[in-house]
DNA sequence: CCATGATGCGACACTACTGTCCCATTATCG
DNA sequence: CGATAATGGGACAGTAGTGTCGCATCATGG
């Protein structure tokens, strides 16, 4: 998952105009109307695909309150819409290129604390978490998703390795195992929140508690 | 997940003959040949659907080394094959009707120990675990799956509640939250084993460790 | 060895979905 | 208000997958 000072408000995210394939009609620069329509389609896709990755484009169009023709004006095909969702996910999760990170002057807090703090933020992104992690293997190997879901570029993996080195995370377990556990607990928390079983902050708290101490009493 | 003294060897499981829709040609009682063919198809379905739930029947037939015609002789349609897989899963996971459980004379071990011991057994069932839990919501509400994947009939949920009552499990978290965490860690372990990252027993050990103490050092 | 059981092949009809296209209509902007 | 942008509707062709069917072939069991 990309590192950040915190997730960007979902409504503020704008797809880079360089992605010509995802542009709407006439491939000219976006107008506000077009930007809103495109974002409505992406949000609808994430909403539907979080729940059923086989959901057809017609259902997504309906969820977005547009016609299938309109959907196809913005996204020529299903893979293009999926790419747009993944690119938007990078923004939503505060995506920055890890190589751009500038080392901080002050020592960072323990990696465990940072990791859990990140989880508490991310769990509020409900549908986006379900979209990415309902089936953890869904986007394995997808070039746009490597930075999000546990590929070698995933900054969360780097954070886990730092935590193991500094002693705040279990040094006896493989890093990618800890990452898998982290994402799966994050998914559980987001799923609880999305289906209304509890508020997102409570789900985050329970997830943090589970990752700190397991399912035993504290 | 149904309680048992241990999972039944997969090869020994036989689909109840009462399931007429799933019987092979002529709906007469099974011959050994037919029983083996049916089981090969079910195993192939679980293998393919563990990895991709959209896998077509033609791919399942190929995996089972039968023709699509033959697959259709045994299972009239995709839902029938899915039902057969879920019924077989009940057998594989040692399914018994929870109401049939007779209270033991001697006190049972702590629920946490029982839970984790069960996990170490179940993780060896690789494909079956992935089939059921790759997408935790896949079979939600499916009548055949309630006893397996966290429905109210799930004996694991009862075990968790007993553990919370006796103090070996976190009493401050909702029982269905602990169940969701348990299944998600089980899935992670099975996935590591199935993709060859580590042996199943090592994955089980790591999962137990994570559920006992979280991702912090022990 | 032969009758019967079991299976494979492939054609066919059908379904659901997708991608393209065009024209009429509605919304937006200056 | 009018020109332009944006959209909806629906037809159409195509794809992938499914379910059915009949016949030839192979496997099995007595």
Question: Is residue A103 scored above 60 in pLDDT?
Answer: no
Q: How is residue B206 annotated by DSSP?
A: H
The reply to whether B35 Cβ lies less than 7 angstroms from strand C is: no
Question: Is residue B6 scored above 60 in pLDDT?
Answer: no
Question: How far separated are the first and last CA of chain B, in Å rounded?
Answer: 28
Estimate to the nearest angstrom the gap between the alpha carbon of A71 and the chain centroid: 23
CA of B101 to C1' of C24 (A): 69
Closest amino acid to nucleotide D17 (CA–C1'): B56
Q: What's the confidence (pLDDT) of residue B47? A: 97
Q: What's the confidence (pLDDT) of residue A104? A: 56
* Cross-chain residue pair A215–B184, CB shorter than 8 Å: no
CB–CB of B85/B93 below 8 Å?
A: no
Q: What's the confidence (pLDDT) of residue B146? A: 84
CA distance B99 to A8: 50
Give the best-scoring range by mean pLDDT among A97-106, B18-27, B66-75: B66-75
* Cross-chain residue pair B215–A137, CB shorter than 8 Å: no
Q: Min CA distance, B51 vs chain A (Å)? A: 8
Give the nucleotide nearest to B30 (CA→C1').
C5
Q: What's the confidence (pLDDT) of residue A105? A: 65
Estimate to the nearest angstrom the gap between the alpha carbon of B23 and the chain centroid: 22
Q: What's the confidence (pLDDT) of residue A30? A: 80
Q: How is residue A151 annotated by DSSP?
A: S
**Strands (DSSP E) along chain B, which ranges?**
none
Q: What's the confidence (pLDDT) of residue B140? A: 87
Q: What's the confidence (pLDDT) of residue B153? A: 74
- Selecting from B182, B188, B218 the residue whose C-beta is nearest the C-beta of A215 gives B182
* Cross-chain residue pair A135–B137, CB shorter than 8 Å: no
Q: What's the confidence (pLDDT) of residue B107? A: 75
Question: Is residue B188 scored above 90 in pLDDT?
Answer: yes
Q: What's the confidence (pLDDT) of residue A180? A: 95
Q: Which B residues between 72 and 131 have a beta carbon under 7 A from any strand C atom?
A: 73-74
Which residue in the block uniquely carries the two structure tokens 């299938």? A68
* Cross-chain residue pair A206–B169, CB shorter than 8 Å: no
Question: What value does the CA radius of gyration of chain A take, rounded to a whole number of Å?
Answer: 18
- pLDDT tens digits, residue range B117-171? 999 999 999 999 999 999 988 998 888 888 888 777 788 999 999 999 999 999 9
CA of A150 to C1' of C5 (A): 52
The reply to whether B69 Cβ lies less than 7 angstroms from strand C is: yes
- Computed over every residue of chain B, the mean pLDDT equals 84
Q: Which residues of B touch A173 (CB under 8 A)?
A: 206, 209-210, 215
Q: What's the confidence (pLDDT) of residue B103? A: 55
Q: What's the confidence (pLDDT) of residue A29? A: 63
H/E stretch holding A20: none
Size of the A and B interface in Cβ pairs below 8 Å: 125
Question: Is residue A14 scored above 60 in pLDDT?
Answer: no
Question: Is residue A113 scored above 50 in pLDDT?
Answer: yes
- Torsion sign over Cα A148, A153, A155, A159: positive
Q: Is the ipTM of this complex over 0.90?
A: no
Give the nucleotide nearest to B72 (CA→C1').
D19
Count the neighbouring beta carbons within 10 Å of the beta carbon of residue A86: 21
CB–CB of A2/A87 below 8 Å?
A: no
Q: What's the confidence (pLDDT) of residue B101? A: 47
Take residue A77 and report the two structure tokens written for it.
């095909």
Q: What's the confidence (pLDDT) of residue B147? A: 81
CA of B15 to C1' of D20 (A): 25
- pLDDT tens digits, residue range A62-74? 999 999 999 999 9
- Chain B, nearest residue to A170 by Cα: B217
Q: Which residues of A touch B211 (CB under 8 A)?
A: 214-216
């Amino acid at each position: 998952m990309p590192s950040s000072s915190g997730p960007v408000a979902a409504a503020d995210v704008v797809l880079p105009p360089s992605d010509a394939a995802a542009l709407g009609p006439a491939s000219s620069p976006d107008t506000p109307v077009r930007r809103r329509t495109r974002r409505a389609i992406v949000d609808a896709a994430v909403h539907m695909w979080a729940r059923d990755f086989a959901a057809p484009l017609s259902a997504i169009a309906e969820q977005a309150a547009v016609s299938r023709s309109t959907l196809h004006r913005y996204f020529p095909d299903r893979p293009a819409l999926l790419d747009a969702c993944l690119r938007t996910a990078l923004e939503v999760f505060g995506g920055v290129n890890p190589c751009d990170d500038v080392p901080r002057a002050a020592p960072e807090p323990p990696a465990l604390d940072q990791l859990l703090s990140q989880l508490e933020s991310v769990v509020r992104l409900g549908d986006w978490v379900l979209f990415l992690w309902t089936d953890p293997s869904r986007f394995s190997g997808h070039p746009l998703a490597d930075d999000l879901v546990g590929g070698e570029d995933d900054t969360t993996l780097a954070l886990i390795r730092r935590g193991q080195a500094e002693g705040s995370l279990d040094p006896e377990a493989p890093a990618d195992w800890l990452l898998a556990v982290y994402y799966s607990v994050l998914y559980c928390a987001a799923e609880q929140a999305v289906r209304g079983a509890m508020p997102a902050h409570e789900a985050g708290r329970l997830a943090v508690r589970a990752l700190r101490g397991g399912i035993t009493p504290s």
